[in-house]
Homo-oligomer: A and B are copies of this chain.
Amino acid sequence: MTRPLDCSEPADAAAIALSVDRRQATPLGVQLVRQLREMILSGRMAAGSRLPSSRALAVDLGVSRATVVDAFDQLVSEGYLEGRHGAGMFVPSGIPGHAMAVGSRGVPDRQAARSSVQARPEPQRPFQVGAWDASLLPLANWTRRFARVWRVPSVELTGSQHPFGLRDLRLAIARHLEAWRAISVGAERIVVTSGTVDATELVVGAALPDGGAALVEDPGYPSLRHALQRQGVTIVPVPVDADGFDVAQLGSTAGARLAIVTPSRQFPLGATLPLARRLALLEWARRSDGFVVEDDFDSEYRYAGTPLPALTSLDRDGRTIYVGSFSKTLLPALRLGFVVLPERLVPAAERHLRRRGQTASLMMQPVLADFMASGDFATHIRRTRRIYARRLDALMAAGVELEGLLVLRPATSGMHLVADIGDALADRLDDRSVAAIARAAGVVVSPLADHFAGPPTRNSVLLGFAGFGEARIRTAIRTLARALRRAG
């Protein structure tokens, strides 16, 4: 029972010495997580081992399939397992057992089972996508404004709030959109949100109250797909080509009434959607009595060339919904973003929000309104844009060390770039294995595979650069190159 299992054929529960004890107080799922973790840490399940299917394991152990799926999911989130599309669960390849043992101190007990909850936050590591650099945030500016607006709050703050959010913030957002994105809109069409989840619920609540289908980019945001599915929306993935969302597919999408796109900079691949495609999307929305959702998540960060105005600025028929965020320009933990609605959706959005209630906190809304109205927000964006441009340059320059391992694709905008797995590795390693090797060396690269709705069509990883100083970027690239070369 203790011989290493390194074959890629799945074993049954007995073969890998799993069992559960119903007399213990410990829940069955927790028992399962501990045993599997221990087997991986001890090397009894080697890298590349394939686990029995959740269905087979549930039958073998006499537990519900949900218990097994829960246990697998937890181990995936902890990095002990990885799912491969259509092929089941594997112990990630390329990670030596001891590397993982360091993370959990090799103690597969009650504490370890809860370690991720109890642990202190870890510093953000390069090249985590969406990481933010606290040293660049205007925190002293905010604490001054916070004291000013909240010490003796005005009736604007203490009165009954409209569910669309603080009026002053909506006015400041309107002015920002006019100046930066050529969108002319009154505050009455702007809704303050607590971020992507909230925005997606609002869009669906207002535009697809009875459910239906939505076109989403593939690859795209996994969290967007999850949020839509949770609300009963059917996902129709549309392939992304070199120019972004492939509008040629619009003909065969009968029934869909929502298309969610990232025209400024396709997430995650980076294409800017050409004007002809933007117009084709608007025409599709008009024809199908639907809406185009423009997710404009980091358009402020363009380092060369002139940005295209927002797709929303082309709309003459009230067919676009614009989704903006302060997660990239400021920090994700702020949990503030906004949605610009066409006038025809305002009543439905108000009804949705009055029924559901707000999730966006009021506390930072007047601070942000003040920060934007003073001009300091625009200054902050221009300043961080210069700094991020230098960080991108540093990453591209350091990238020569990755020759043959990763091919960094040049970018002129955004906060991350795409790197294809190079010839020295591509025949042996997929993006998830590369990510696992990097993680074991203390560097984060995000597998592109995680962003596909269907089977991945490209073997690449994402590297976020905006949150890390140039010296740290160079060091991390050196570490990454060493780890990949060893594995190659």
Chain A: residues with CB nearer than 8 A to chain B? Answer: 27, 29-30, 33, 66, 70-71, 73-74, 77, 114, 116-124, 128, 132, 134, 139-140, 142-143, 146-147, 150-153, 155-162, 164, 167, 186-188, 194-198, 209-210, 223, 226-227, 230-232, 333-336, 343-344, 346-348, 350-351, 354-364
Contacts and interface: CB of A to CB of B under 8 A. Distances in A.
23 contacts: A66-B209, A70-B347, A71-B347, A74-B347, A77-B350, A114-B346, A117-B162, A118-B187, A120-B167, A121-B156, A134-B153, A134-B158, A139-B150, A140-B151, A142-B150, A143-B146, A143-B150, A197-B359, A223-B355, A230-B231, A230-B356, A333-B361, A335-B362
B354 A77 contact: yes
Contacts of A118: 167, 186-188
Contacts of A158: 121, 123-124, 132, 134
Contact of A195 (B187, B346, B359): B359
Given A140-B151, A346-B117, A356 B159 contact: no
A344 B150 contact: no
Stoichiometry, copies per complex: 2
A121 B160 contact: yes
Name A's interface SS: helix
**A-B residue pairs, 3 tightest by C-beta:** A121-B159, A333-B362, A335-B361
A330 to B, nearest CB: 10
Contacts of A143: 143, 146-147, 150-151
A350 B197 contact: no
A311 B351 CA distance: 35
Contacts of A139: 150-153
A351 B160 contact: no
Given A197-B357, A360-B361, 20 more contacts: A27-B344, A29-B344, A30-B347, A66-B209, A70-B351, A73-B347, A74-B347, A117-B164, A119-B162, A120-B167, A121-B157, A123-B159, A140-B151, A146-B146, A195-B359, A197-B356, A232-B232, A333-B363, A335-B358, A363-B363
A70 B210 CA distance: 13
Nearest to A130: B160
Contacts of A348: 70
Most chain B Cβ neighbours within 10 Å, of A117, A132, A161, A362: A117
Contacts of A151: 139-140, 143
Contacts of A161: 121, 333
Given A122-B159, A159-B124, A361 B334 contact: yes
A326 to B, nearest CB: 11
Nearest to A117: B188
B350 A155 contact: no
A405 to B, nearest CB: 26
Contacts of A198: 359
Contacts of A153: 134, 139
A38 to B, nearest CB: 17
A114 B188 contact: yes
A361 B364 contact: yes
A358 B333 CA distance: 9
A343 B117 CA distance: 12
Contacts of A232: 232
Nearest to A114: B188
B350 A335 contact: no
